[in-house]
Each structure stands twice: as C-alpha cells, then as structure tokens.
Structure 1
C-alpha cells in the first residue's frame, strides 16, 4: 500500500521554518523585542495622557461610521470614566465581540482629545480568567505568524528543551560587578535566565531588559560569545594541522630573488607599513601551515604592490599564484599593473601572467587554461572564472582574494580546494579596503591573522568633501566645466536602484545626456553594468588615457580604478549609499598632485529632510577621511551583520551580544574558549551546537 501523504504544513509552521525556528533551542533563544504589561488593570480615572494601559470596561455603544472614512467607533465605561475606541480596520467578528453590553479588557495608548479620551486600535480580549503574573512578551515575527501562535510554540519549547549547563565552573571569572552572573558561581542557570527573559515579573526594572544589562541578558551574551570564540578556535586549530607548500625566498643566481628584483625596478619606494606587512606575509609563507591572513588598508594605501611581492615569493619558490577580484574592471586594473611590473622579471624564466574572465572568447580562454595547467602561467589574474572546475593549476601555492567581503564562503572554499589532490592547501591572502574595527576583527576574524597598512604613500593629495543639496546642481556643473578646462578629469556617480536595473540605466543615461548638453566640446562617457565588456573596456581606456573629460557611471568604478588626473568626484543621491561605499568612491580621486574634491549631492525628501541614518553617514564623510574612523562609524550605524556582507549567509552570527558595548564579555570569551575546549571538550562541542547549529561552518571559511 502506498504510504500516506505527509500532512500539509500550516502557514504559521512554514513561517516558523522561514525564520529558522526549527529546533526547541531555536525557539527558546528567540527572545522578545519588548514587553506589554497585562498584569494590572488601570482605572480610566487614573490613566495618564499618553500612557499605555490596560482597562476593563463595558461597551456602551458600537457603530460603523462611513464618513470621513469607514471606521468602527466603540464607547466604553469602566465605572470611573469613559473612553472612545477607534478602529480603521476591522472584521465582522470584531463587531460581534465588541457588541453593546460586552465586558472586555482593552490595552492601548490613552489620548486626551476635544471629545474626551480615546484609544486607537487597542488590543482587546474577554474580561475573564486571572490576570497574567508576568509581562507579556512581544516577539520578532513575519507575516503569517501571529504573536499568540509564537508565544504558545515558545512556551512548549521551553518545557521540552534539554538545557544542561555547558559553561564549566572552572572558567575565568567575568570582569563584571557583584550581583551579575558568574560562570559556575551564580544561582541563575541558563534555563532560569531564559524563563526570566521570556516571562519577566512585573516589578523588574524595564530599563535593564531594554538595554540588555540585566544579569539574565549578561548570561546569554557571554554564552553566545563563548560559542563563537570556541568555533573560531576549533577552525584555527584544524587549519594548523593542515599542510601547505613551504614558500621560502630562493636567491637566484642571476642577481637576486624575484621580490628584490621587483623592489629595484619599481619607480617608488615602499612605506614602512608596506615593508612590515610584506615581512609578516613572507614569514607565514615560509611555514608549512596554510596562511590565513587578512591584509587591510585604506583606499590607496598600496595593497596591490604587497600582493605582487607576495606572489613573487610563491613564484620564486616554484609555485603558482592566483589573484581573484569581484569585478572585471577591478581584475583588469590589477592585470594591467601586474603585467607591467612582473612580465619583465618572469619572461626570462619562461613564465607569464595569465588572464581569466567570464567574457573571454573561447579560443583565448582555452589557451589561458593550457598555460595554467602546464604551470607556464606563474600568476593567474581574473574574476570568479579563476575558481571554475575546468581551471586546473599545476602547483597553486598562494591564492589572493581582493575585496574579500564581496565573495561568498563557497567561493573562498572552492579556491582553497584547488590543491586537494596533493593533500595540501594553498596559502590564502585576503585583501580589503574596508578596514575592520578592532572589536569586529577580534570576534568575526578570531581565526584570522590581520595585517594592517596604516600609512598612505607620500604624495597623496587630501580630498576635500562637500555636502551640497541637489537644488544647487548647476553650481556643481559649473565647477566641472572649470576642472575640465584646467585639464583635469571628473567622475559623476549615479546610484544603483536595487529594485530595477532598467531604472539604473535610465537614471545614468539621463545624467549623461544632461552633462553632454551642459558641457559642449567635452567628451562625456557612460559606464554601467549592462554594457558589453568590450564597450566598458573602450570607455575606461578613453578615460584612463585622458581623452574623456567626464565619466558618468554607476558604482562599477567603486574599487581599484586608478586615474591620477581625476580630481573631482560627484556622487548623486549620496544619501542612498553606504558609508564604506562612499569612502571607496571618494578614494578614486586625490591620486595625483592636483587638489581634489568629492561632492556629495543629496536630495531631501518632500518635507525637506534627509533620513537620520543617511544624515549620520553624510556627516561622517564630511568630518573624516580616515578609513578606520569611517569603518568604526559604519559599524555603529549598520551593526556587524550588515557591515560584514557576504561573510554570513544572511543571518547575523551574533544575535544578542553587541560588539560596541560588550567588549568586556568578548575579552572574557576569548580567554575562556581555550580553557573550555582543552579541559571539557564534550561540553565545548555541545555548547557550540546549541548556540550556532549549522552556522559554525561560516566562521571557518
């Protein structure tokens, strides 16, 4: 007999799964956003104007009015006063429940009006049964998942979930004040902490729940950070057991090793910071353990030359290097620079720099793949094409990933697997022009060594940043005309409109037409993501060569584009951009000797204002050009989940702890993680499974 078909899932059940609330522990750790006090009844005569209260009253009138709009008006009396309830959306069932004579409990904000007291859309229920003894939790939810269903699911999960203590009593004490939870030394168990936070008693100071300073909150945040640090430590230790090729510098007979030859050939000297990070990377490459290093430095700090010198260490030792960038324009910029620097050194050894990109002609691609497989291509530069299956490296020793936050975990893992056949892993160097604040590096990158170029090369011109309302666009166009007349070049960046690529295009195209008309005799170019690669290349060549005065573009020029003659950057609708993106764009100018400026054109809304978050971003841009300060403010504004982009698979890995304010807890977790892992490995395993589930893998890429 065929087996019975599985029962269809209810919309609420599907919504739970969509929110990742699958296990009992997931529900137990799904904490309230806020609380409602339904533990007491307030007489109307004592309710203060503007306060949210619960009243118990009898319906005296109930009628549907059609003007000025359809609404349900209900008058109630609790014996101490009367109140009008107003509902703009209601169902036939509401009319039955709110019939004259019904005795109900209503909860909402009491407002004093010309016609007496009012509540808009209060919650209501029958006035029966005892009052609850705890505050009523209000949970984060999605469409199709009512609060009542979610509350019942969480109560059931809390009863069923197995919550043995995983925090051993011999962990270091927390550096917090008396009365707060301490590992193994406090009466509050994890179960009690969760029970308390889901159903706090009415006398608890609400402020300690809202600012997460209550001992129950401290307990949860400390446990969460501990799980994350253990996971990071496990992946670091696992990596320390892997083997990688030993890439030690070989002194060549014909006059020196390749890195030394490149230093001698470069038209500029390296800064102290560049020399320091080169030494850190070379020391890692000389070990037989895979390097896992993040190279971070502000826009224009000279990360590419550090990558080139690192690549030459690998090549000099007889291995290949791959450099992967997120966009074809950025990859081409790297390729152009690296060919100029490295080919004169590699050609005498019969080696080449190869190029791999998605838009390559079949014949060119086949010849490049052959060079890579034979080992003749010592350095392979490209986009995602570098990690495709058909790309077979002869001996990949080092993988460099630029703008690493733009690549997903799976892509980084694919690059690391290119040496799998030889039981070795390539060394991994990730580069980012979005500096990571210290607390974030300690938390999300605890298994990663971080090298920082904290010094700009001499000769970089400071960029003046101006905030200008778009009503003054004419003045900006006049400024552009003056810059072009002086022989300078200008970028004009249009925002990406996520909902519609067609809108992006029409927006950029309209701006291009306007500027072409306003600047007769000036070649104005257009660059956007939908153009064929050959066309993009042609436009960039015209701009790079100086033949084109103004380049109108969407954000495809955000990183890596280097035109020293460009002295003005105009960013239209700057309020729509993220802070690090604005900083990256600003970094496209100020690369030569000419005084440079960045104009942030913003468009106020109908009420003449700019949103609070956008205002904070624009203010930060005007006040500082330091990438590390920008990153700190960006973290403050956006929070760690969004700041890190593709490192996560959507859900932030920290739900409760705040890296800005919980640094003491983070320091404790870093100290406690090796103790728990070494002395109580089974507890550590259970602790990570409870808190991270399958997300632990994302910390290991």
Structure 2
C-alpha cells in the first residue's frame, strides 16, 4: 500500500507559491496566510514622490526622474574591470549614476535620450555633485504609489515584489478579530488590531516611523507580542509544577553542605548566603527547580552552585555541571575536586575523554553511584547515562540551547531533575524579570570582600609601543598579562590586529619574555599545554582570542590588554576584564582602540572605564544601543522578538504580565491563538 502524499500547504492555492516557495516561506515563519501579516517590514522606501535633483541630500534615499544626457564607460584600473557612468538631468540639475557590475541589457536601457526614474542612496562624489551607486530603474510611466514601500525580511529565492503582493493579499482575505478590551486600548492609545497591522504594512505617504500614528501601531503589536510571550512562559511554569522531582533535604544533605562550606578558604557574602538559601528551599520541594542565578563577574556563582551540588550528592543522588568549553569544564573539575573530597567523587567528561575512561565512568553512572559529573556538551549525549541525576547545573546558560537542556531533563525516567542555570552576563533586574518569567531568579549583587576593582585605562593604538615598554617592565616584576585580540589571523575585510600577528609582534619586541598564543582553532592538547604553562607561571604573556572570556582563573595575571576594544560589546569587554583582579595585587585593564571613534563607541569605552558594576554597565549598554537594538543583550540569552523591544517597551511590560496572568486562567483558547501567532517554536521557546 503506497503512502499517502503529504497534505498540501494552504499557501499553495495562491498564485506563484509552489512546494519550493512553501519551504522558503517556512524559514520566515510563514505557514498559512495569516502569517504574512506578522512578517513586518524592516524599513520603508518612499516612492510616493519625485525629488528634484537639486534638492537631494547625501546620506538619504530618494526617487528622481529625468532624461539621460550622457553615458560613459570607463576602465577602473588594471584588472578591476569597467564602470558605467550615466548622467541623468532634470530641470534643476544633473545626477551621476554609477554601475560597477552590469550586463549588455543594462547598457541598452541606459541610452542617451531615454527617460527614467532612479531610486537609491544619494552620495557625494569626488568631483563634486551627487551620485547614486547602482540605482534601481523604474519606468516613469508607472503610477506613483499612495503608500510607502515596505522592505521585508527575506531568504534566498524570495524577492520583495512577491512578498509585497502576498502580504497585500493576506491583508485583503484574512479577517483579524480585535481581542483587546477597550479600556486597555484607550489607556495606551492603541489602534484596533486590523488598523495597526495595515498601517505598518502600508503606511500612507509621509507617515514615517517617527510619527505618533506609526509609533502607536507598532506599540500595539509590541503589546500583543509581550502578552503572548508572558503567557507562554506562565504556561511553561505551570506545566513544570505538574512534574515530579526528588525532594532533596534532610540530615545527609545538610551535613554535606556544611562540610563543603567548612572547607572553603573564605566566608560567604550576604548575597551568596541568600541565594544558597533560595536554592535549598527549591531543592526541598517535590517539583523541579528552575532557577537562574544572575551575577556579575567574580560574584561567586561557582561556590553557590557547589553548595547546591553538595546537597544533591550528599542525599545520595547524581549531579551534573555543564560548561560551554573544555577549558572551563576542566577548571571547574579541578576546583571542585578538593572541595568534595570525602563527600563524593568529581569526574570530568568532555569530547577528549578517552573511550576506555569514559566506558568505566558510564558503568559507575549506570549503577547510580552518587557523584559530581562535570563536562561540556558531552553531558547531553545519550551515551552518557545519569539515571539518578537530581540536579543539573548549567554555567553560562545562554551558550546552550533549549533542546540540550531538555536532554539533561530526560536522563532520568523516574523524575525530572532540578535545574540551576548561571550567567555572568548581568542584565537589568526589570529586564530579567520580563525575559525569564518562567524561571525563579536569584541575583548575586555583592562582590566578595578583598576583591579589588580593576583600574581601566583607554589608550589609542598609536601609543602601542609605549604600552609594550610598560608591559615588559610588568613581566620583569614577575606578573602576568592577558593580551586579547578579536581575530585569529589577518582578514582583508577587517583591518584588525589578529592574534597571530600580535603574537609575532610581541615576540619580536620582547624576545626575553615568554609569550604564548591561545585560540579556538588549536587542538585540545595544545590548548591545555598553553593554559597549564600560563597557570604555572612559565608563560608571562598569553596572547589570545575571546576563548579566555570565561573560566580562566589565574590570580597572578593582573594586567588585561584588549586590542581594538571598540569592536567588542560592552558585556564582552566586562567579561574579559573579569579575568584579572582575582589575586591580592592591584590589577589593570587597558582598552586599546583605533581612531577615529564614533560618539557611541567613545561613550561605551568611557562607561567601561568609569563603571565596574556589571548591572550598571548592562543598563548603560541598552540605553546606548537605543530602540530596536535588542541584540545588545543577546549574549545574555534574552529571546529575540519580532516587534517588541524590552528596553523601549519597558513601560508596557507590567500591563502585559498582568493581562497574561488573567488570560491564562480565564481564556485559554485566546492564549492558544496568541502564542501560535507570536511565539512559534521556530522563533523562540520557553526555557527547558
């Protein structure tokens, strides 16, 4: 009996949409006609009016119309090919169009005497006057549109005219019901949903995004998305409360935690004690803990996690600690081993673990032996059995995906393990509460006593020779240095100082100093050899890429140099700076930058120099990035959304949270529709 063919997509009934196009549209999250309405424009082009050439301003995009008065074909230089230069004139002046890539058909269109409309970005050219590079050619007989022209997100194989046509059809055939109550709409001055959607897809001429009507339409859809996001996370939390987890409490758990705490060479901060108590309370419940610890660099997250692990293994269970890199995993294992001596064995599993060692370890795990297993992504593999896993700790949680966390959850068939996630990328508290509504949050907002702040200095690359002289003296005094570069090798596109080039430069300048190179393309054994030498102090300067961003802990390294600091994000710079200041001596961070700096880049570096608190840096970072740049917190694991911006729309969040709570309880079918519309699994999913 032959298998029945797969059901056809409802989109295939539309002209121009076949199976191949359906696949491409699915990559944009479009699977049915309504989905076109939520494919919102990235920007708009104004083709509603013709601008006189004399009125053009450089840096803007404009539509012009005129007659071609001269055509020239010039050779660009040896081996560089030709360029086509076309002069278009109207009653007010002349505009140059320049083509570096063109076909004979383009030359046929661009004949002297022909009339055209051009659309493109206006630039000043070096002979004076204005020009457009590869302007779009539009037939002057085409009627001017009444609305701005949207430019949509796309994938290869889908062009803008087709997307615009399909969106217009969806606007005509899809009936959107207004679900929001009048009181909420009036409070926030929201337009009705159908009106907001139509305005964003087809804004009338002159209605640029700065206008109040456009902002109100965008805010309305942002509110809808926030409600759907919050409702989705609340459902995830409620679903988790129906699952069973081992309740970790009692004398044995308490004894193991006390034994580890007594072994620590320092006392806990008040913040650490508070968070340890929050975790212990969660572990004692018969439902799975899902807690995220947000803490600044050096706030002591590892110690908090270790005390939670001690409770689990002390009660006779298995615990796992997942780290994103082998360097970090090995450091965790080395740090935990002496702490857990006499409590439980600490074992390491990575991709580099020999098969024989791994097999023996798997046999012990299969038998349910209580132990602490530290590892990388190898922990998530099916061949790593953890039948009595009661607590999974995930360091740098944003470096792991939802599916990977789910695999840990499925290790035990008897229960769902408790989950403790940690992030050293602090984000503002209000933003965290919105992003992680499905999790319980703990904030480590206190630095351990004795940790001195790192003094940060800004230095232009033009003074690099002066810096090298001071680094030589620094190393001669017995201290060590990190020297971080953004690339591994020279790149023709980005004129940055690569790690390999800097390594050779420093070796040549300081031949008497032991210098080593570390980057992600090196083999595991080679990386470990370099790191061991640096930890032992036989290497004075470690030239590295951002592979040392997290996890490397060398107290004698008290100077951090970061080349092309303007190319790094503020959170990443703060993370890198956190690698120093871990010993008793005063520590420094030098941010080397290339001139000229933009105003925003200058303010970012000035903020790093001025601030040492990661939470304040995160808040400043979000403000500097401005509306629409949620990528500023992407490395914190914050979900990306289509319309809402958790910084710009912060005022809407409490109302969205309150409404989501109400709808989850009273209108589950409406919640189903909102989640399907705004939070499809392909774009974002609640935390596992």
TM-score after normalising by structure 1: 0.85
**Do 1:174 and 1:668's aligned partners in 2 also have CA atoms closer than 8 Å?**
no
**Do 2:488 and 2:519's aligned partners in 1 also have CA atoms closer than 8 Å?**
no
Of 633, 648, 669, the residue aligned with 2:656 is: 669
**Do 1:653 and 1:695's aligned partners in 2 also have CA atoms closer than 8 Å?**
no
| 1:408-441 alpha-carbon deviations (Å, 9 max, x no partner) | 222111111111x11x100000011111222431
Counterparts of 1:631 and 1:520, CA distance in 2: 40
* Aligned residue in 2 for 1:86: 97
Counterparts of 1:116 and 1:511, CA distance in 2: 41
Deviates more, 1:127-136 or 1:626-635: 127-136
| 1:441-483 alpha-carbon deviations (Å, 9 max, x no partner) | 1232110111011111111111111122233222222222222
The alpha-carbon deviation at position 332 of structure 1 amounts to 1.3
Give the 3 Å change call, closer, same or farther, for CA 475–427 of structure 1 in structure 2: same
* Aligned residue in 2 for 1:259: 257
**Do 1:175 and 1:664's aligned partners in 2 also have CA atoms closer than 8 Å?**
no
Deviates more, 1:134-143 or 1:293-302: 134-143
Deviates more, 1:96-105 or 1:106-115: 106-115
Give the 3 Å change call, closer, same or farther, for CA 489–118 of structure 1 in structure 2: closer
| 1:469-501 alpha-carbon deviations (Å, 9 max, x no partner) | 23322222222222223222222223334998x
Within 5 Å, give how 1:510-525 maps onto structure 2: 510-525=501-516
Within 5 Å, give how 1:157-556 maps onto structure 2: 157-165=170-178, 167-169=179-181, 173=184, 176=187, 180-181=189-190, 188-202=191-205, 204=207, 207-208=210-211, 214-250=215-251, 257-344=255-342, 346=343, 351-419=344-412, 421-422=413-414, 424-497=415-488, 507-556=498-547
**Do 2:306 and 2:336's aligned partners in 1 also have CA atoms closer than 8 Å?**
yes
Give the 3 Å change call, closer, same or farther, for CA 486–30 of structure 1 in structure 2: same
Helix, strand or coil: the match of 2:265? Answer: coil
Give the 3 Å change call, closer, same or farther, for CA 266–75 of structure 1 in structure 2: closer
Within 5 Å, give how 1:520-599 maps onto structure 2: 520-599=511-590
Counterparts of 2:620 and 2:394, CA distance in 1: 25
The alpha-carbon deviation at position 688 of structure 1 amounts to 1.0
Helix, strand or coil: the match of 1:214? Answer: helix
The alpha-carbon deviation at position 9 of structure 1 amounts to 6.0
The alpha-carbon deviation at position 85 of structure 1 amounts to 5.6
Matched, 1:24 2:33: yes
Counterparts of 2:522 and 2:68, CA distance in 1: 68
Helix, strand or coil: the match of 2:347? Answer: strand
**Do 1:250 and 1:316's aligned partners in 2 also have CA atoms closer than 8 Å?**
no
Deviates more, 1:550-559 or 1:352-361: 550-559
The alpha-carbon deviation at position 117 of structure 1 amounts to 8.4
Counterparts of 2:612 and 2:3, CA distance in 1: 69
Helix, strand or coil: the match of 2:204? Answer: coil
| 1:264-297 alpha-carbon deviations (Å, 9 max, x no partner) | 2222111100000000000000111111001111
Counterparts of 1:27 and 1:138, CA distance in 2: 13
| 1:241-267 alpha-carbon deviations (Å, 9 max, x no partner) | 111110114258xxx711112222222
Give the 3 Å change call, closer, same or farther, for CA 435–175 of structure 1 in structure 2: farther
Of 128, 147, 163, the residue aligned with 1:134 is: 147
The alpha-carbon deviation at position 615 of structure 1 amounts to 4.0
Counterparts of 1:206 and 1:561, CA distance in 2: 46
Give the 3 Å change call, closer, same or farther, for CA 438–523 of structure 1 in structure 2: same
Helix, strand or coil: the match of 2:441? Answer: strand
Helix, strand or coil: the match of 1:399? Answer: strand
| 1:539-581 alpha-carbon deviations (Å, 9 max, x no partner) | 3333223333222333222212222222111223333333222
Give the 3 Å change call, closer, same or farther, for CA 96–627 of structure 1 in structure 2: same
Of 155, 161, 168, the residue aligned with 2:168 is: 155
Give the 3 Å change call, closer, same or farther, for CA 60–410 of structure 1 in structure 2: closer
Give the 3 Å change call, closer, same or farther, for CA 381–587 of structure 1 in structure 2: same
* Aligned residue in 2 for 1:629: 616
Helix, strand or coil: the match of 1:567? Answer: strand
Give the 3 Å change call, closer, same or farther, for CA 601–75 of structure 1 in structure 2: closer
Give the 3 Å change call, closer, same or farther, for CA 276–114 of structure 1 in structure 2: closer
Give the 3 Å change call, closer, same or farther, for CA 248–484 of structure 1 in structure 2: same
The alpha-carbon deviation at position 628 of structure 1 amounts to 0.9
List alignment gaps of at least 5 residues for structure 2.
9-15, 77-81
List alignment gaps of at least 5 residues for structure 1.
182-187
Counterparts of 1:152 and 1:119, CA distance in 2: 31
**Do 2:22 and 2:31's aligned partners in 1 also have CA atoms closer than 8 Å?**
no
* Aligned residue in 1 for 2:605: 618
Give the 3 Å change call, closer, same or farther, for CA 83–484 of structure 1 in structure 2: closer
Matched, 1:640 2:633: no
Counterparts of 1:319 and 1:114, CA distance in 2: 73
Helix, strand or coil: the match of 1:693? Answer: coil
Helix, strand or coil: the match of 1:343? Answer: coil
Helix, strand or coil: the match of 2:279? Answer: helix
Give the 3 Å change call, closer, same or farther, for CA 394–700 of structure 1 in structure 2: closer
Give the 3 Å change call, closer, same or farther, for CA 532–377 of structure 1 in structure 2: farther
Deviates more, 1:444-453 or 1:270-279: 444-453
**Do 1:82 and 1:117's aligned partners in 2 also have CA atoms closer than 8 Å?**
no
Counterparts of 1:335 and 1:4, CA distance in 2: 53
The alpha-carbon deviation at position 620 of structure 1 amounts to 2.8
Q: How many residues align?
A: 667
Give the 3 Å change call, closer, same or farther, for CA 214–98 of structure 1 in structure 2: same
**Do 2:208 and 2:214's aligned partners in 1 also have CA atoms closer than 8 Å?**
no
Deviates more, 1:631-640 or 1:461-470: 631-640
Helix, strand or coil: the match of 1:370? Answer: helix
Helix, strand or coil: the match of 1:434? Answer: coil
CA RMSD of aligned residues (A): 3.8
| 1:127-163 alpha-carbon deviations (Å, 9 max, x no partner) | 4465433333343445654432222121122223342
The alpha-carbon deviation at position 631 of structure 1 amounts to 2.1
* Aligned residue in 1 for 2:677: 690
Counterparts of 1:306 and 1:471, CA distance in 2: 44
Give the 3 Å change call, closer, same or farther, for CA 569–72 of structure 1 in structure 2: closer
The alpha-carbon deviation at position 395 of structure 1 amounts to 1.2
The alpha-carbon deviation at position 356 of structure 1 amounts to 1.3
